[in-house]
Each structure stands twice: as structure tokens, then as C-alpha cells.
Structure 1
């Protein structure tokens, strides 16, 4: 688990803010890389990052009769906070953003259920500012003309409230609710055009 001195709910700004990387795709919240097809879980052109690192089997600590998820692990290439990344402006062609969708009072500090152990949790007091800052930071490291793919489930908050936190609206995404479940997962695709100003990019939107 991430040490208390580097709590996932607190941004550490000690990293070099202009460290170049060779990868052109960023998965900013890779977790167990569950959204990736098996053949793409270790792409050379993709940088898989997460706010924590966990060994295989850690989820089973949350269930009564393990093993339930014996091989699930969080093994990012780098431990980084999507709200404050050490990469230069306009680094990646494609960014994947699949943040936690469950809101808890203490956020990432106490993860007990299977879903929160696997995917983490947003902090009740700061989730809107955290996601807003996450969108801004990911748009900052996204090249003009690049694509951001966003995934979210409406267990704790509705999609529109979350999507409105982004610096610009999505081009397209899931618009029709599926049947049979009170909780739904939707995907949204954003395109960064030259009008986007994240207020952190050097030179603004130029």
C-alpha cells in the first residue's frame, strides 16, 4: 500500500514536472488493467500508471472465502497521481481515464469491500475538485488533436455531473441506458482542440 507520507488523497509536488517519456499512450488509472484486451495489457507504446501498487491476492483480504481474485494486482509502470503528473505539456496522443466511481468519506484511506479494493474510491469532500483537476492535468499532457477516453459508473453520482467537470464536452459516448441494472457504466470520448486552455500549459492554448 502507498505509505501514509504519500497518501493517494494528497498531491505530492516534489516530482520533476518536465520528465520526458517515449510512450505515446497514457493509462492514467491503470489499476489491474482490466479494461485492456489481454494482448494489450503490456504495450510498449503505453505508459500504465496508478496512484498505488498492490501485490497479487490483495483483494482476497476483503472477502470471507478467498480465493476470489487471486491473480488481481495493481502493478503500474510508475506510481503517479493523475492530478499532478511529471510529464511535459502535450506528451501523449491518447489518454485513458478510468477513475474510481464509488464515493467514500475517507476516500482511498480505508478500502474494505471487493469493489473498492479493486478500483479505489473517491473522497466525499473533494471528489469534484479531484476529478476536475484530473481532467485538467490529463488534457495538459494530451497533444492537440489527441483523444481522451473516459469511463465511469453512476453508482454514486450521475454521469452529467461528472462529465461537466471536464474542460470541454465529449464528442460522443454512451447515451442510452441499458436495462436490468440500477448501476451503469458508460464511456465518453473527448478530442482536444486548440481552444482548450488548462491554465497549466505553457503558452496557454497556443
Structure 2
């Protein structure tokens, strides 16, 4: 494996400056093509179809993991929000708890996890309670902007 960065919920790779960055492996459970209401194409084309709750990598495989899981509990079945971001199931707490655990498992010691959360339906405080790892830094409050970027570091071996 040549990639040193893992994005296990890449979606449409929207926040990447280079959506084909060779240092990264882009994964997602979905492979889909959509036409948005304004006619633009929105495609989810991961390098590898995978489930962030059970990733197919050995322990300590990546130096950096970017974890941007679905953040919606409710969205119309044909809405562009659901198409773009996906939706959490009824077991969302367990799913995200398992996702955090997997992200830390595949990180090398002292590797970095960048976590992205859009606080539109579930407060980020409820999400951070799903991992024992303590954040280093990031947005503590979403009053002006509901999107949080939070950095973690895996403990040394």
C-alpha cells in the first residue's frame, strides 16, 4: 500500500484541493452517481468500497486519517443532502463509536486523526463522547459555522 493518508468516508471528495491526491486512499461504502437539482453531476467514486466500522487494513497502516462520517439523521429520500452526505442509521452512536475505534486502530502511533462534523442535527459534544481519545484542538463551538474540524493524535505505542 502506497497511501499514507486514509479518507474512509470520502463521499464526493469535496474538501480536498486535489481530489486525486496520490498520497491518499479514498474509501466509502457508497459508489453512486447523482445529478443535482441545478444539473451538476455529483459522483461518489472511492478507490475502495469499504465500511468505516470495519476497515480492511492492518493495524497502524496510515499516518493520517480524515474521518468525515455522515452527520444527518433525517433527510428526504431523494434530497441532495442525503446524496451528498449520506445518512446515519438508528444505531448511529454504535456506528460512530466503532468508526472512531477503527480510525485509531489503523493510525500509526502518534498518527493524526482529523475529524469533521457538521453540527446540524446532532451536537458535536454527543459525538466526542463516543471516543475515549481526547481532541488536541479544533472548533469548540458551532455558533457561527456548524462545521467542526477537530484534530486528535493517537497515543505512542
Give TM-score, length-normalised by structure 1: 0.72
- How big is each residue's C-alpha offset from its partner over 1:68-113, in whole Å with a ceiling of 9 and x where there is no partner? xx23210110100010011000000000000111114xx9xx8421
1:171 aligned to 115, 136, 140, which one? Answer: 136
1:119 aligned to 85, 95, 103, which one? Answer: 85
CA distance, structure 1, for counterparts of residue 104 and residue 132 of structure 2:
8
1:172–1:188 contact (8 Å) kept in structure 2 = yes
The 4+ residue runs of structure 1 with deviation greater than 6 A are none
- How big is each residue's C-alpha offset from its partner over 1:140-189, in whole Å with a ceiling of 9 and x where there is no partner? 0000010000001111111111011123111111124443x7xx111100
1:149–1:188 contact (8 Å) kept in structure 2 = yes
Give TM-score, length-normalised by structure 2: 0.93
Q: Which has the larger radius of gyration?
A: 1
Over aligned residue pairs, what C-alpha RMSD do you find? 1.7
Q: Report the Cα offset of residue 33 of structure 1.
A: 0.3
Tell me the equivalent position of 2:9.
29
2:32–2:44 contact (8 Å) kept in structure 1 = yes
2:115 aligned to 123, 131, 150, which one? Answer: 150
CA distance, structure 2, for counterparts of residue 154 and residue 176 of structure 1:
9
2:48 aligned to 78, 81, 86, which one? Answer: 78
Tell me the equivalent position of 1:48.
26
Higher strand share: 2
CA distance, structure 1, for counterparts of residue 2 and residue 113 of structure 2:
18
CA distance, structure 2, for counterparts of residue 138 and residue 176 of structure 1:
23
1:111–1:120 contact (8 Å) kept in structure 2 = no
- How big is each residue's C-alpha offset from its partner over 1:100-143, in whole Å with a ceiling of 9 and x where there is no partner? 11114xx9xx84211111110001x2000000000001110000
**Counterpart of 1:73 in 2: which secondary structure?**
strand
In the comparison of the two structures, how many residue pairs are matched? 157
Structure 1: 5+ residue stretches without partners: 1-20, 195-205
